[in-house]
A and B are shown apart, each in its own frame.
Chain A
Amino acid sequence: MADKTTIVVHSGDMDKIYSALIIGSGSLSMGMDVSLYFTFWGLQRLKKNGLDKGPLSKMNMLGLGRWMIKKRMKAAGVEELYKLMADFRELGGKIIACDMTMDVMGISRSDLREDLIDEYGAVGTYVNEAKSSQITLFI
């Protein structure tokens, strides 16, 4: 069985979504299996057209900092989140959506990018994935 990375994506901040998708796709590229478990603010990013809508975790400055970072990322040759997500899926990365967050925040499946989501689960799903993982992170 391949080594595995499991990440809890709790934050919906743009820079942290980058971290999760970069570590996720990097792990896939090195031959590992990967599960990303989207919960709380992270789950907001799985809403339709929501992936790149998060603020910066620091120095957002009402969106000015976010705009500057996006500009600098583009100049530095960093991919857009949509491309990273498409690559993550193409390489076999798995996405799990937290159903408790959906209940708490009144999110229905039709609000989400259902095409990206492999599974709807709760803590047991995460623990089950994480216990067989060599790398597990909370972002």
Chain B
Amino acid sequence: MVELKVDCAGKNCPVPLIEMRKAIKKAAKGDVVEITGDHPASKKEIPMAVESLGQELVGVTESGGMWTIRIRKVKE
């Protein structure tokens, strides 16, 4: 299993969402994508996209205005 890290600090709409999608595309089934950022709306929108994409949301954490979202690719 590979863990892909994507840093979207300082990036605004729609960059975190796009970067999440690009990372999921590149990942292999079973890989985990970890995306960090500080754009507030993306913290709730990325999990919405993960659900639409049928992938697995592993967890969402936040500290000091930075959030981290972990996603497991469970389907191609």
Residues in A lying within 8 Å of B, measured CB to CB: 22, 25-26, 28-32, 76-79, 84, 87, 90-91
Majority-rule SS of B interface residues: helix
- A32: chain B residues at CB < 8 Å are 52
B48 touches A22 (CB 8 A): no
State which size class the interface on B falls in. Answer: 10 to 19
Complex: chain B residue closest to A3, CB-CB: B52
B22 touches A91 (CB 8 A): yes
13 additional contacts, CB 8 Å, given A29-B18, A77-B10, A91-B25? Answer: A25-B17, A25-B18, A26-B18, A29-B20, A30-B17, A31-B49, A32-B52, A77-B11, A78-B12, A79-B11, A79-B12, A79-B15, A91-B21
Count of CB-CB pairs between chains A and B under 8 Å: 46
Q: What are the 3 closest A-B residue pairs judged by CB atoms, nearest first?
A: A29-B21, A77-B12, A29-B17
Residues in B lying within 8 Å of A, measured CB to CB: 10-15, 17-18, 20-22, 25, 39, 48-49, 52-54
